[in-house]
A and B are shown apart, each in its own frame.
Chain A
Amino acid sequence: AQKVTQAQTEISVVEKEDVTLDCVYETRDTTYYLFWYKQPPSGELVFLIRRNSFDEQNEISGRYSWNFQKSTSSFNFTITASQVVDSAVYFCALSEADTGTASKLTFGTGTRLQVTL
């Protein structure tokens, strides 16, 4: 069975600080996808990033970066120079990768990020 753990329930930072959201996952699949979604107060889940299990290259996209380490089953997400608009709940999610199409997402319980001035 797949499982995603986000140990940080809530994080508060001051604007312009960097913040890292932790994610640890469990799966028996050899190939899988990892995702980060953002859920603002409006409720809609916004897709941020997706990584394949066979590609451990870490990337930066604007103020977002992620650190995927298969050896520790972790997929951490960093926001650089946080802004008030980053305030939301962030979810890490896991899915199979051998079905040829989108398969069910297993989500963590989310980390609420509050960015203040």
Chain B
Amino acid sequence: ETGVTQSPTHLIKTRGQQVTLRCSSQSGHNTVSWYQQALGQGPQFIFQYYREEENGRGNFPPRFSGLQFPNYSSELNVNALELDDSALYLCASSPLNSYEQYFGPGTRLTVT
């Protein structure tokens, strides 16, 4: 186990609603990244947070936003949900000065 936890495990939302996904990093990991994995695809980078600031963003619209807290936990918020947002959302944390990312079990979001 990596020590990275995510909640909830599964979530069903309706198109147009808003959702918040949570991630708790391993102790001492100050960088957290979020990825979206559609069915049958590889994970796609959404954004990364380092010391509570956004530190890089992938090709996702502004309705995808995030936060990192002083205890290095993190949230991913998605507004105005669309059907294509249905996916597995993965959180990954990294310790200082390391290039390795350790993934949590993911949150499976279904938008109907």
Interface positions of A (Cβ within 8 A of B): 4, 33, 37, 42-47, 50, 91, 93, 95, 97, 100-110
Contact = CB atoms under 8 A, between A and B. Distances in A.
B43 A45 contact: yes
Contacts of B42: 4, 91, 93, 107-110
Given A43-B108, A44-B106, A109-B42, A97 B99 contact: yes
B109 to A, nearest CB: 12
Closest 4 CB pairs of A and B: A107-B42, A102-B94, A45-B103, A104-B45
A100 B58 contact: no
A26 to B, nearest CB: 15
Interface string B45-65: 100101000001010000000
Given A44-B2, A109-B42, A102 B98 contact: yes
Interface string B78-100: 00000000001010101011111
Chain B residues touching A, range = 20 to 34
A110 B108 CA distance: 19
Contacts of A95: 99
Given A44-B103, A47-B102, A102 B33 contact: yes
Given A44-B106, A104-B48, A104-B58, A50 B31 contact: no
15 contacts: A42-B105, A43-B105, A46-B103, A91-B43, A102-B48, A102-B99, A102-B100, A103-B56, A104-B58, A105-B33, A105-B45, A106-B45, A107-B42, A109-B40, A109-B41
Contacts of B94: 101-102
B104 interface: yes
Nearest to B106: A43
A68 to B, nearest CB: 15
A47 B105 contact: no
Given A91-B42, A101-B96, 5 more contacts: A4-B42, A43-B105, A43-B106, A102-B100, A108-B42
